C-alpha cells in the first residue's frame, strides 16, 4: 500500500495512543522526520519527550525515522509509553 502513494507531499494520519487509551490523530508527510510529530504530542500533553517511548509494532522508533522508513500507512497506530525509571 505504501508504494501506491506516489505523491510524497500528501500527508497520512497517524494515531498516537497513550497508556490510558487516549488517542491523538496527527498528520505527517511520508518523508518528514517523526521528531515533529513527537514535538506536537509533547505540546498537547505536557509530558517531556525524554520521559516517553514511541513504539510501532512493539519496536521503539526514533525521532529521526520517517513514516516512509517504517513503511507506515494511513491510520497506523504508534503507542506512547512513559519511560521506566528503573530502580
Residue 75 has pLDDT above 70, yes or no: yes
3-state secondary structure of 48: coil
**Residue ranges of the domains in the chain?**
11-82
The DSSP letter of residue 10 is S
11-82 topology per CATH: Ubiquitin-like (UB roll) (3.10.20)
| Stretch (H or E) spanning 42 | helix 35-45
CA distances from 78 to 6, 18, 87 (A): 23, 9, 27
Model confidence, pTM: 0.85
pLDDT one-digit tens code per residue, 21-52: 999 999 999 999 999 999 999 999 999 999 99
Amino acid at each position: 500500500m505504501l508504494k501506491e502513494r506516489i505523491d510524497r507531499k500528501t500527508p497520512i494520519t497517524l494515531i498516537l495512543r497513550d497508556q490510558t487509551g487516549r488517542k491523538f490523530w496527527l498528520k505527517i508527510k511520508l518523508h518528514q522526520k517523526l521528531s515533529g510529530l513527537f514535538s506536537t504530542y509533547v505540546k498537547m500533553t505536557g509530558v517531556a519527550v525524554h520521559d516517553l517511548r514511541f513504539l510501532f509494532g512493539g519496536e521503539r522508533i526514533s525521532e529521526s525515522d520517517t513514516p516512509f522508513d517504517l513503511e507506515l500507512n494511513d491510520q497506523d497506530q504508534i503507542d506512547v509509553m512513559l519511560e521506566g525509571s528503573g530502580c
